[in-house]
Amino acid sequence: MIPSIEWIDNKVKMIDQLLLPYELKFLEISDYRKMATAIKDMNIRGAPAIGVAAAMGVALATIEYKNLTKKEFLKKVKDAINTIRNTRPTASNLFWAIDRIWKVIEAAPDEPPEISELAIEEAKIMAQEDINANKSIGKHGAALLKNGDVVLTHCNAGSLATVQYGTALAPIRTAIEQGKKISVIADETRPKLQGATLTAFELQYDKIPVKVISDTSSGLLMKLGKVNKVIVGADRITSDAVFNKIGTYLVALAAKDNNIPFYVAAPTSTLSLHETSEKVKIEERDTKEVSHILGKLCIVPEGVECLNYAFDITPFRLITGIITEDGVFVPKELLKKYKS
Ligand code: MRU
C-alpha cells in the first residue's frame, strides 16, 4: 500500500481518506491551518498518521514564519502548535508528536531559517520511524499467526492509519509475506465506516483476502468458530486500559467469552503509561456522523437526538497481548518494560 502521507518539496502530500474507497486522490498541503482541518475533519486519521501529520503541520508553520525575529517566530509557531493540539483529544500520538518537535525547535540555538530546517528533518525522521516500527510490529505479530488463520479487526489500523504498512494489519501483511495463508474479517465500524471503506480498500489493493461484516456480527462469528484471532490498533494505552475505536470493547468482550486471543498492535508513540483511563478525554464528534450514513442518507427520524463517542476503553483484563516494535507483551509485562 502506498504511503498515506509524505513530505515532498516543503509540502505535505496525503491520501484524502474521505474519498475512499471511491477515489484514490491526494491532498497537497502547505499551510498548517489546512493540516489542522485535515486532522479534525479526518481527511487523515489513525493515531500514528495523525501524529506524523501534526509534526509536519508544525514544520509547515516554521516555514511560514522563518523570516520573523526568533522571538516572534517562536511565539507564532507556538500558536500554530496550539491550533493543531486542539484538533482531536484522544489519540496520544498527536501530543507525543507536537511535544517532540517543539522540543527540537525550542532547544535550537540557531536562527529561524535553520530551526525550520531542523523541524522539517525531525518530521521526516518521525515518518520513517513510524514505518520502521510498523515493520517490527509485523515481524513480532506474524509469529502469533498460524497458516490458515482468520483474523478479525475493528476500524482501520492499517497502512492508511499510519505512514505505511499499518499496526494491526502489519502482522497479517508480514505473515503472508512469510508464505502463510491468512484472511481478514473487517468490522464495518460505524459510524464513520473505517473498516468497510478503508481496511477493505487497502487489503483489496494488496490482494489480501478480506470480508466485511456489520459490527454486530462479530460475536456470532466468534461463537461459530469462524475467527481464530483478533488484532486491533490503539489510540492511547494508559497504565490500565487501551483506548481504540468505539466498539473495540464489545469485540474484546466477545473474544474473551469465546476464548479467542485478542491482541492490540501499537507503536510505543501510542503509550501514555503515566496516566490511568479515567483521566482521558474521549472525543465526541458531530452527531450527524451517527444520524447520517457517510453524511448523506439520514437514518434517524427528524428531531431524535444522537450521541457520538468516537472511542471506548478496553481494560487490560480482556487483552491477551500488546504488540509493539519491541515485541509482544502481556499488559503487566508492558508496564514493567516501559513504565519508568
Ligand atoms: O477516528 P479514527 O479513524 O482516527 O480512529 C482510528 C482508530 O481507532 C485506530 O484503530 C487507531 O487509531 C490505531 S491506528 C494504527
The answer to whether the CB of 270 is under 6 A from ligand 1 is: no
The pLDDT of residue 122:
98
Model pLDDT for residues 160-205, shown as the tens digit of each residue: 999 999 999 999 999 999 999 999 999 999 999 999 999 999 999 9
The answer to whether the CB of 173 is under 6 A from ligand 1 is: no
The pLDDT of residue 264:
98
Distance (angstroms) between ligand 1 centre and the Cα of 174 equals 20
Average pLDDT over the chain, rounded to whole? 97
The answer to whether the CB of 167 is under 6 A from ligand 1 is: yes
Question: If pLDDT is split at 50, 70 and 90, which confidence band does 250 have?
Answer: very high
Distance (angstroms) between ligand 1 centre and the Cα of 46 equals 4
The pLDDT of residue 152:
98
Distance (angstroms) between ligand 1 centre and the Cα of 154 equals 9
pTM over 0.85: yes
Question: If pLDDT is split at 50, 70 and 90, which confidence band does 288 have?
Answer: very high
Mean pLDDT of 8-28: 98
Question: If pLDDT is split at 50, 70 and 90, which confidence band does 1 have?
Answer: confident
Mean pLDDT of 95-102: 98
Strands (E), the chain: 5-8, 11-15, 26-29, 150-153, 183-187, 210-213, 229-232, 236-237, 241-245, 262-265, 292-293, 297-298, 311-315, 321-324, 327-329
> Considering 187, 215, 235, 312, which one is annotated as catalytic?
235
The answer to whether the CB of 161 is under 6 A from ligand 1 is: yes
What are the respective helix, strand and coil percentages of the chain, to the nearest 5?
45, 20, 35
Distance (angstroms) between ligand 1 centre and the Cα of 245 equals 6
Which residue out of 5, 52, 159, 244 has the highest number of ligand 1 atoms within 8 Å of its CB and is therefore the one to mutate? 244
Question: If pLDDT is split at 50, 70 and 90, which confidence band does 340 have?
Answer: low
Q: Which three cell numbers stand for residue 86?
A: 486542539
In the chain, pLDDT over 90 holds for what percent of residues? 98
Partnered with residue 237 across adjacent β-strands are 242, 271
Model pLDDT for residues 266-284, shown as the tens digit of each residue: 999 999 999 999 999 999 9
The pLDDT of residue 339:
81
Q: Which three cell numbers stand for residue 77?
A: 509557531
85, 62 contact by CB (below 8 A)? no
The answer to whether the CB of 245 is under 6 A from ligand 1 is: yes
Residue 130 is among the residues annotated as catalytic for this protein: no
Phi, psi at residue 50, to the nearest 5°?
Answer: -60, -40
Mean pLDDT of 225-240: 98
The answer to whether the CB of 162 is under 6 A from ligand 1 is: yes
Phi, psi at residue 212, to the nearest 5°?
Answer: -105, 140
Model pLDDT for residues 28-59, shown as the tens digit of each residue: 999 999 999 999 999 999 999 999 999 999 99
Question: If pLDDT is split at 50, 70 and 90, which confidence band does 92 have?
Answer: very high
